[in-house]
Structure 1
Amino acid sequence: MASRIRLEEKRILQALEARGVPVVHLDPRRLELTVGGAAGPWSVVLNREISATRARYAALGLEAAGTTVVNSAAATGICGDKWLTSLALHRAGVPSPRTALSLTPEAALDAVHEGGYPVVVKPLSSSWGRRVSLLRDHDAAEAVMEHCAALPAPQAHLIYRQELIDKPGRDIRVVVVDGRAVGAAYRTSESWRTNVARGARTEPCPLTPELAGAAVAAARAVDAVIAGVDVVEDREGRLYVLEVNSGVEFAGLEASHQGRVDVADAIAALVADAHRLASTRTAGGCAPAAPDAAALEGAVR
């Protein structure tokens, strides 16, 4: 399910075809959901919708009708909200930067001025580093808070902030599929923001037990069976999880490993096993259910 077929979706479609999995492209912009509606003709829906809102609500409707969706609506909803993600990481004991939420820009300005600079401010829902600001002084903080207060969306008035980790000019993207860290890549930039969408360079990163463990724990904390986990290291090498992405982009990571890491095939293997599980249930006279991430992960293994 995707409204845009990017390189990642093409790679997944190729991997599914290679495994002999029957697949159709479902565009959520044309998907009609009804309360109490019957399940669609799909045993499993791989949710690759780029719009976080459409991805979540489509998953909710499909699951209500009895269709298995990967990732689940619950995981998509948590990953699509940075505050919910931070709460889930904290509950699971996953190391992450100190984080706070102010319910008005005015309260955030007072808190930042009292707590000191620098501080990073992020919108609750965003991708590719958009509207992420590094506040180094009161003038910058005041300008950003005035801008947020003027935005029409009520959610924009909630100010999510994190401490700035003194990192060595890079962060790390780890892809987790079915409880396993598949690969990792450094994202290096001259800017303090290291998003590939903003021109960051990707280089292969060794997948150490500590890094893999942190990424897998973060994915489990948000109930995601497919996850892109963003990790930052401080100058002493301590690892902190920044956020978890449910519709992970992985083309740069694969390219950095020059064919030695195949994220698309790992995702295709997960979908193929879920398809076989759902088909077996249907053949046995049971309607396909929408298991939670832990149940799906255990069933696949």
Structure 2
Amino acid sequence: MRICLITPRPDHPLLAGMTALLGSRHRIESIDPTMDGQLAAYEGESAVPLADVYLLKARTPQALALARSLEGRGATVVNSAAATELCQDRTAMAALAHRAGLPFAKTTTIATLRQLDSSPGLVHPLVVKSRRSRRDDLVTRVDTPAHLRALHATWGDEPVVVQPFTENSGWDRKLWVIGGHVFAALRRSELADAGERGPTLPLALGDLPDGWIELARAVGSVFALDVYGVDIIDAGGAALIVDINAFPGVRGQSGAPRALAALALRKARSGVAKGACREACR
């Protein structure tokens, strides 16, 4: 099988672990979507031949454009460009989760953080996040109007979403799913000060509350994701989803590279069968 990684970091531990498992029997390649000319190389009559499956471990506009182009040619991409892009828009994410009946935090969209000052009925504390999920985005707890105004200098024009602050232990349950296989860990909330977060701690699946594993798998069905993360807090004995991520790192989880290898091969075989069907139908 020919498996292609769309990422500037093919040495990422999860991808490197998968490559070590499959590299002796299968062809593993990578595309750095940040390099000039990559999109053009995969379009037109002289385009590079399609791999059996592409693993989209990048979320930049260039990576998404490349994934969409490959999908347009009939390629199998995990996760799809559409599913990956959906998880970058916290407004769309919340709307889909609520429509599907998932226990997702109530989310209100504000055009810019500066306009939040004039929003009626604000109740502190509240949680403010950048609408667009990305590296180094805004995720913070706001306790007072003065705290909110202090954010204006850096984030005043940022499109944001607002969620009520839910009292909890201060620890997120990080659930990762790869092809239906669930992994879990404990991590201090993103709302904690950077110096207080500390390391991610192991969490046995047996220590999760009843129904949480099934909830994590349900997220994949709703969002059409094969590799993803779900951040859940314990809200007084009930699960509350606060974030969903497409193709997270899943670092330090024994068995994660093997689960990804199995998923890649399964999707590659499916891609080969789909390609053969297209040829037969011509």
Bucket of the pairwise TM-score, normalised by the shorter protein: 0.7 to 0.9
**Which of 8, 32, 56 in structure 2 is aligned with 1:47?**
56
Give TM-score scaled by structure 2 length: 0.84
> What residue is the counterpart of 1:76 in the other structure?
84
**CA positional deviation for 1:277:** 1.9
Contact map agreement 2:39 2:65 (CA 8 A) in 1: no
Tell whether the 8 Å contact from 1:71 to 1:226 is kept in structure 2 after alignment: yes
Matching residue's letter, 2:203: P
Structure (1/2) with the larger strand percentage: 2
What are structure 2's unaligned runs of at least 5 residues? 1-5
Contact 1:173 1:230 in 2 (8 A): yes
Please state whether the residue corresponding to 2:127 is helix, strand or coil: strand
Q: Distance in 1 between matches of 2:105 and 2:280?
A: 43
Asked whether the 8 Å contact 1:173–1:228 carries over to 2, the reply is yes
Corresponding residue number in structure 2 for 1:123: 130
Change (3 A) 1:40 1:86: farther
Taking structure 1 as reference, are residues 143 and 215 closer, same or farther at Cα in structure 2, changes over 3 Å only?
same
Task: Specify which of 17, 31, 50 is matched with residue 11 of structure 1.
Answer: 17
- Alpha-carbon RMSD across the aligned residues, in angstroms, is 2.8
Equivalent residue of 2:51, what SS? coil
Tell me the equivalent position of 2:248.
Answer: 248
Q: Is the 8 A contact 1:56 1:73 kept in 2?
A: yes
User: Per the alignment, do residues 15 and 193 of structure 1 end up closer, same or farther by CA in structure 2, a change over 3 Å counting?
Assistant: farther
Change over 3 Å in CA distance of 1:169–1:40 after alignment to 2? same
Distance 1:149 1:271, change over 3 A: same
Contact 2:112 2:160 in 1 (8 A): yes
Match of 2:273 among 271, 276, 280: 280
Deviates more, 1:132-141 or 1:210-219: 210-219
SS at match of 1:90: helix
Deviation, 1:129, is 6.3
For residues 265 and 197 of structure 1, the distance between their equivalents in structure 2, rounded to whole angstroms, comes to 32
1:61 pairs with 55, 69, 73, which one? 69
Q: Report SS of the residue matched to 2:233.
A: strand
Alignment CA distance shift 1:159-1:204 (3 Å):
same
Judged with a 3 Å threshold, the aligned counterparts in structure 2 of structure 1 residues 195 and 223 are, in CA distance, closer, same or farther, namely farther
| Cα shift readout 1:199-248 (whole Å, capped 9, x = no counterpart) | 343221434541112211222222111111111112x2211111111121
Alpha-carbon displacement from aligned partner over 1:263-295 (angstroms, at most 9, x marks no partner): 11111111101111222333456289xxxxxxx
Matches within 5 A, 1:195-210: 199-205=198-204, 206-210=207-211
Aligned residues: 269
User: Does the Cα contact within 8 Å between 2:232 and 2:240 map onto a contact in 1?
Assistant: yes
Q: Take 2:88 and 2:260, find their aligned partners in 1: how far apart are those partners? A: 20
Q: Return the offset for 1:88.
A: 1.2
Q: Which runs of 5+ in 1 are unaligned?
A: 151-155, 289-301
Relative to structure 1, is the Cα distance of residues 282 and 220 closer, same or farther in structure 2, using a 3 angstrom cutoff? closer
Q: CA separation in 2, counterparts of 1:215 and 1:98?
A: 18
Distance 1:96 1:194, change over 3 A: farther
Give the residue type in structure 2 aligned to 1:76.
T
Please give the secondary structure, in 2, of the residue aligned with 1:114. coil
Post-superposition offset of 1:146? 4.7
Residue identity matched to 2:12: R
Q: Percent of counterpart pairs with the same letter?
A: 24
Aligned pair in 2 of structure 1 residues 218, 287: CA closer, same or farther (>3 Å)? farther
Matched residues in 2 for 1:14 and 1:70: separation?
A: 19
Whose helix proportion is higher, 1 or 2?
1
Against the structure 1 CA distance between its residues 167 and 250, is the aligned structure 2 distance closer, same or farther, given a 3 Å change threshold? same
SS in structure 2 of the partner of residue 14 of structure 1: helix
Length-normalised TM-score, structure 1: 0.79
Distance 1:245 1:238, change over 3 A: same
Question: Is the CA contact 2:126–2:162 (under 8 Å) kept in the aligned structure 1?
Answer: yes
Give 1:10 shift: 1.0
